[in-house]
Amino acid sequence: MNCSICRAYLRAKNPCPGCRGTDNHKPVTRLRCKIKNCELFQDGNAEFCFSCAKYPCEDLQHLDKRYRSKYRMSMIENLEEIKKSGITKFLENETVRWTCPACGGSICVHTGSCVNCLREHITKDRLK
């Protein structure tokens, strides 16, 4: 997940520090995240899910299906892009994809709107 487009990360009051950040002030749902708490990451053996022999595991496939249908974004496609091009290139592409052309703010994957100007950019079917 690209934290910079997440509603919890983008909120003004008590923003989430991201899965890799400290657990201080995180909602309990983030603390219980099956992906974040995967033994592969807890052991420090991997940086990304694609390093795991179980990739894509059932938990990741479930999350990917939900994000594809509700938010028009794929966790597995993101991971494949990171694997192919590296994290730096992935984040460069994400910045272009999720930056509001009207004001330069961030488009939230969960709401489909810019957090600054509130302009809607995502409909059920596509990114505008």
Domain limits, the chain: 3-97
- pLDDT of 127 > 50? The answer is no
What pLDDT score does 15 carry? 82
Across the strands, what pairs with 113? 120
For the ranges 12-21, 90-99, 119-128, the lowest mean pLDDT is seen at 119-128
The span from the CA of 114 to the CA of 122, in Å, is 10
Q: Give residue 121's pLDDT band: very low, low, confident or very high (50, 70, 90).
A: confident
Sign of CA dihedral 49, 75, 3, 35: negative
Cis amide bond preceding 56, omega within 30: yes
CB 121 within 8 A of CB 113: yes
Tell me the pLDDT tens digit for each residue of 1-38.
888 999 988 988 878 777 766 667 666 666 667 677 77
Chain centroid to Cα 42, Å, comes to 19
How many separate helices (H) and strands (E) can be counted in the chain? Answer: 6, 0
What are the two backbone dihedrals, phi and then psi, of residue 47, each rounded to the nearest 5 degrees? Answer: -100, -30
pLDDT tens digit string along 48-90? 889 888 899 998 999 999 999 988 899 999 999 999 999 999 9
- What 8-state DSSP symbol labels residue 57? P
